Structure 1
Amino acid sequence: MTASKKVVSVANALAPLPVFSQAVISNGFIYVSGNIGCDKNSKLVEGGVEAETRAALENIIKVLEGAGTKLANAVKINVYLVDFDRDFANMNEVYKEFFGTENLPARTCVGVAKLPFNANVEIECIAAVPQ
């Protein structure tokens, strides 16, 4: 099997830093880089972990849709929280707004020491890309 790799760049999604891609498609899956809750001007949104979670997931949706897939095709989500004890439940409430409670992707959620821009949460996604 020959590996494939296609870099994804979606104009209406949050621009990545110059050291990584928004996402990469390889062998039928899209690997979306970690997203923090920034607005279209790359400023961290106000409102704590709930607002940041919503903004991060909305940006992931833009990347997925720009690549021809959708959040419902997510197979793995990784969530990173700076204050796990304080923010886990609130992040999950917003997460459920996007994913519901059935046919959920696999997920890892871990506590970390620090995130870019002093964000409270960062989310990355792996999703299937239909042929």
Structure 2
Amino acid sequence: MISGGPRPVAPFSHAVETDGWVILTGQMPTDPDAPDAPLPDGIEAQTARVMANLEIVLKGLGLDLSHVVQCRCYLTEFERDYAAFNARYEQFFPADRRPARTTVGVTALAVGALVEIDCIARRPQG
């Protein structure tokens, strides 16, 4: 668990590491400083909050988004939100260093979120 990280919505760790591979649990668009506050409005704001939460977890491990090699993204309103989600998501990764990604539509997410993202990062090998 990462100190200052988002409050878990289920029984899980923020991340697990083995042999330099770091698997981050899917993050929700909750505010770590106010976990019971309403979620941000709209897919763009929720995507930004999810990415910020992933950054908090990565930072707690001495990593950042440049170490991410794969993301899985879950959208509850896939057809409606896919384009807007992509527009916001791509701002977090340079065009020449985007991780592999899968995005799927789902019927619902915890806390009524529109988006959840989990990822795999790789610790630099020295």
State the TM-score, normalizing by the size of structure 1.
0.88
Secondary structure at 2:92's aligned position in 1? helix
RMSD, aligned CA: 1.3
| Unpaired segments ≥5 residues, structure 1 | 1-8
- Residue 20 (structure 1) aligns with: 12
> Could you tell me how far 1:18 is from its partner in structure 2?
5.0
The question of 1:60 aligning with 2:38 is answered no
- Residue 23 (structure 2) aligns with: 31
Given that 1:46 and 1:52 are in contact with CA atoms closer than 8 Å, whether structure 2 keeps it comes out as yes
- Residue 80 (structure 2) aligns with: 86
Percent of residue pairs bearing the same amino acid type:
37
Amino acid at match of 2:102: T
> Could you tell me how far 1:130 is from its partner in structure 2?
2.5
Secondary structure at 1:19's aligned position in 2? coil
Residues in 2 aligned to 1:84 and 1:66: alpha-carbon distance in whole angstroms: 31
Amino acid at match of 1:29: W
| Unpaired segments ≥5 residues, structure 2 | none
Residues 32 and 44 (structure 1), Cα distance of their counterparts in 2 relative to 1, 3 Å cut: farther
Amino acid at match of 2:22: I
State the TM-score, normalizing by the size of structure 2.
0.91
> Could you tell me how far 1:13 is from its partner in structure 2?
1.5
Residues in 2 aligned to 1:18 and 1:46: alpha-carbon distance in whole angstroms: 20
> Could you tell me how far 1:27 is from its partner in structure 2?
1.1
Structure 1 residue ranges (4+ consecutive) displaced by more than 4 angstroms after TM superposition: none
- Residue 102 (structure 2) aligns with: 108
Which has the larger displacement, 96-105 or 26-35? 96-105
